[in-house]
Every structure is written in structure tokens, then in C-alpha cells.
Amino acid sequence: MAGTLDDVKAVITDVMKIDAANISLDTRFIEDLRADSMDQFFLIDGFCEKFGLNISDEDAREIKSVGDAVRYIDTHKN
């Protein structure tokens, strides 16, 4: 999980242009990072590219926090 978390943080810092030190598993994309719909799209796209995944729109709607993203990626990556 630690490796996945670091990679998820890297995607978030690239998309949101923020410091990774401010990101934890409890960090929520909308409430804490102020991600708008385009930010959310680019985050999901970044996760797909980084981890070689195809995240459906339905699954993407359920990824609301960094922890959600890490758990989803750990469960679905090859």
C-alpha cells in the first residue's frame, strides 16, 4: 500500500500542483483539495495511466478520497 500511496500522491501533486506533504489517506478530493470536475477527470486519468488501469465512470464516482483511490488501485492492478 505504501508504494501505491506514494504513486497516487505523485499523480495528485502533478494534477493539483500541491505539496505531497499535505496529502494523507483521509484527504478528500473535493472537500480538502477543492478539486473541480475537470481536476477529478485528470486525477482519474492520471491514475489509469500510472497504474495501467481502466476505471469506469461508475467506479470513478466512488473514489472520493486518497484512501479510496489507493484501495481501488491495490484491488484492481495486475
Concatenate the DSSP letters of all residues of 26-63 into one string: T-BTTTTT---HHHHHHHHHHHHHHHT----HHHHHH-
The catalytic residue positions are 36
